[in-house]
Structure 1
Amino acid sequence: MAEQNNGAVGADQAQFAIQKIYVRDVSFEVPGAPQIFNEPGQPNLELNLNQKVARVGDGVFEVALGITLTCKLADKVVYLAEIEQAGLFQLAGFDDRTLDMMLGTYCPNVLFPYARQAIGDLVAQGGFPPFYLQPINFEALYAEGLRRRAEAAQGGALPEAGNA
């Protein structure tokens, strides 16, 4: 009887596995080289972050974390570093809400150190001072995304109700 209970508990438990982590796309550009290396001034860094999730099989999802780092000096682009770090994740036994949360927070947290290392390496290999991408709070970004989705749903429902 204990074996049946153990089997039933194991079947009901949520499962998470990393199948593969890989670079989907990478790019580094220094449009003004070599003259840009002699330009005086304080550079300005802009960071853009995006995430894509796609179901690729039964319980298997590809999560891609995109990071674009643009360094500018006045109006000139000094360098542009882009990476799309991806992974295949198997998730089973999660309810819809928890699955969404895992794909929006846990999976990007797994991918982030790889993307951070790649961006840092690209900048250093480009001949620029080291760049250390600070940790990103994916839980806060996910919560903000949920808040925006809720506002959009409410905003979308109110005009329709007003038209009726």
Structure 2
Amino acid sequence: MAEDQNTQDQNAAANEQAQQPTFGMQRSYLKDLSLEMPNAPQILLDPQQPTVDISLNLGADRLAETVFEVSVRATITTKVNDKTLYLVEGTQAGIFEIANIPEDQIDPLLGIVCPSMIFPYLRANLADAINRTGLPAVHMAEVNFQALYEQRAQESAAQAQNGQTAEDNQPSIN
């Protein structure tokens, strides 16, 4: 009788533990990196200060029932007199386990929390690539992914209200 009670208690505890919300990054990896200096070496002799443009895009894919890949892609274009000094593109991705979390909370995790966790890796990888060119570094400031997420949600709502479809609703920072 006591054994039956212990078994029931253990089963109940196991079920309760299996239903606990789970969130964690399993892995972060550099998915893509490229650097181009199409106008070197001539452009390196130009004394003009370069202009820098940085754009950022997010992506998320469900790999399995509780496994997601989230990616952050950045493109840094540096120009001198409308000629490209260098172009650096990189995609940092992470594999995340998300289980027993209400469906309406998964999208904010994928659009805010996950990118916030992998962005520092992307920033370091891009800085390293630029540093290896021998040119001055470009500082990528922290990104407020919550503000980007809210902006994207507002744009989606406005498009839905106007009867438009959101074809490319990726946030972009310039």
TM-score greater than 0.5 by the shorter chain: yes
Match of 2:54 in 1: 47
Q: 2:145 aligns with which of 129, 138, 145?
A: 138
Match of 2:123 in 1: 116
Deviation at 1:13, TM superposition (A): 2.4
Residue by residue, what CA displacement relative to the aligned partner does 1:139-160 show, whole Å, maximum 9, x if unpaired? 1000111111111121118xxx
Unaligned 5+ runs, structure 1: 158-164
Amino acid at match of 2:122: A
Counterpart CA distance in 2 for 1:93 and 1:44 is 46
Match of 1:14 in 2: 21
Deviation at 1:79, TM superposition (A): 0.4
Deviation at 1:6, TM superposition (A): 4.6
Counterpart CA distance in 2 for 1:84 and 1:100 is 20
Match of 1:126 in 2: 133
Amino acid at match of 1:92: A
Counterpart CA distance in 2 for 1:136 and 1:9 is 37
Superposed CA RMSD: 1.7
Match of 1:73 in 2: 80
What is the count of residue pairs matched by the alignment?
A: 157
Match of 1:87 in 2: 94
Counterpart CA distance in 1 for 2:161 and 2:9 is 49
Counterpart CA distance in 1 for 2:10 and 2:163 is 51
Higher helix share: 1
Q: TM-score under structure 1 normalisation?
A: 0.89
Secondary structure of the 1:156 match is: coil
Unaligned 5+ runs, structure 2: 1-7, 165-174
Deviation at 1:129, TM superposition (A): 0.6
Q: 1:102 aligns with which of 89, 97, 109?
A: 109
Amino acid at match of 1:120: A
Deviation at 1:91, TM superposition (A): 0.4
Counterpart CA distance in 2 for 1:155 and 1:9 is 45
Q: 1:147 aligns with which of 139, 154, 167?
A: 154
Residue 75 of structure 2 corresponds to residue 62 of structure 1: no
Q: Which has the larger radius of gyration?
A: 2
